[in-house]
Chains A and B, each alone.
Chain A
Amino acid sequence: MVGAAACLEDRVVTRKPSAGSLAEASGRDALVAEFVESWRGLEGDAWIVRGGRDEVRRTIVEAARIMVEDGGPATSCRVLAWSTADLASLDLPGLLAQQGWEHVPWPTGARAGEAAAGTNGAAAAGDVPGAEEVTRTQAELVTLAAASDLGITTCAWAVAETGTIALYATPATGRLPSLLPTAHLALVRPSQVVRTVPDGLRLLAEYMAREGDPPSAVNLVSGPSRSADIEGDLAVGVHGPRRAGVIIGEW
Chain B
Amino acid sequence: MPGELPPAGATWPERRRRALADPAMRAAVAKSTRSLAVKKEAVFATYPAAEAMRKRAVIARRGSLARVDALLDELTRRVEARGGHVVRAAGPADVGRYVLDVARRRGVQRVVKSKSMATEEIALNEQLENAGLHVRETDLGEYIIQLAGERPAHILVPASHKTRQQVRALFDEEAAACAVDPPVGDATPELTAFARRQLRADFLAADMGISGGNFLVAETGTLVLITNEGNGRMTTSLPRVHIAVVGIDKIVATWADLADLLQQPALSGTGQRLSTYTTFITGPRREGELDGPEEFHLVLLDNGRHELLGTEFVDILACIRCGACLNVCPVFRTIGGQAYGTMYSGPIGVVLTPLLGGLERAPELPKSACALCYACADACPMEIDLPRHILALRRTEVERGMEPWSDRLTFELWGRFWANPAGFRFTGRIARLGQRVYVRDGRLKGAPGLVGGWTATRNAPPLARESFHEWWARRRASRTGS
Contacts and interface: CB of A to CB of B under 8 A. Distances in A.
Interface of A: 38, 42, 106-110, 112, 115, 131, 134-135, 137-138, 141-143, 146, 159, 161-164, 169-171, 174-176, 179, 196-198, 201-202, 204-205, 208, 213-235, 237-241
A13 B290 CA distance: 35
B142 to A, nearest CB: 8
Q: Interface centre among A131, A176, A217, by most B CB within 10 Å?
A: A217
Contact of A238 (B230, B280, B283): B230
Interface of B: 28, 31-32, 35-36, 47, 49, 53, 82, 138-141, 144, 157-160, 162-164, 167, 188-189, 191-192, 195-196, 199-200, 203-204, 220, 222, 228-231, 233-234, 236-238, 240, 255, 258-260, 262-263, 270, 272-292, 294
Contacts of A198: 53, 259-260
Nearest 4 interchain pairs by C-beta: A240-B230, A109-B288, A229-B141, A171-B288
Contacts, number: 201
Contacts of A42: 276
A135 B284 contact: no
29 contacts: A109-B287, A109-B289, A112-B290, A131-B294, A134-B290, A141-B290, A162-B273, A162-B274, A169-B291, A179-B230, A179-B233, A198-B260, A216-B82, A217-B280, A220-B277, A222-B276, A222-B277, A223-B276, A225-B229, A227-B228, A230-B140, A230-B144, A231-B28, A231-B31, A231-B162, A233-B164, A234-B188, A235-B189, A238-B195
Contacts of A220: 274, 277-279
Given A217-B237, A230-B140, A235 B255 contact: no
Contacts of A240: 229-230, 233-234, 277
Nearest to B220: A214
B237 A208 contact: no
B288 A108 contact: yes
Contacts of A215: 282
Given A171-B289, A176-B237, 4 more contacts: A171-B290, A215-B282, A229-B160, A233-B164
Nearest to A179: B233
B192 A232 contact: no
A143 B289 CA distance: 17
A197 B220 contact: no
A140 B50 CA distance: 43
Given A143-B204, A179-B237, A218 B195 contact: no
B386 to A, nearest CB: 24
A166 to B, nearest CB: 9
B291 A230 contact: no
A6 to B, nearest CB: 19
A106 B289 CA distance: 11
B274 A197 contact: yes
B49 A230 contact: no
A198 B167 CA distance: 39
A208 to B, nearest CB: 7
B188 A179 contact: no
Given A107-B290, A161-B49, A217-B279, A228 B270 contact: yes
A221 B277 contact: yes
Given A171-B290, A197-B263, A223-B276, A216 B231 contact: no
B82 A213 contact: yes
A172 to B, nearest CB: 9
A230 B167 contact: yes
A112 B289 CA distance: 10
Contact of B157 (A131, A137, A232, A234): A232
A229 B238 contact: no
A132 to B, nearest CB: 11
Contacts of A106: 290
Contact of A230 (B47, B164, B236, B288): B164
A226 B229 contact: yes
Contacts of A108: 288
Nearest to B186: A230
Contacts of A143: 204
A183 to B, nearest CB: 13
Contacts of B141: 227, 229
A142 B365 CA distance: 47
Contacts of A175: 233, 237, 291-292
Contact of A214 (B164, B222, B285, B294): B222
A225 B277 contact: yes
Given A175-B237, A217-B237, A161 B273 contact: yes
A163 to B, nearest CB: 8
A1 to B, nearest CB: 17
A219 to B, nearest CB: 5
Contact of B49 (A115, A196, A214, A239): A196
B290 A216 contact: no
Contacts of A201: 255, 258-259, 262
Contacts of B195: 238
A80 to B, nearest CB: 12
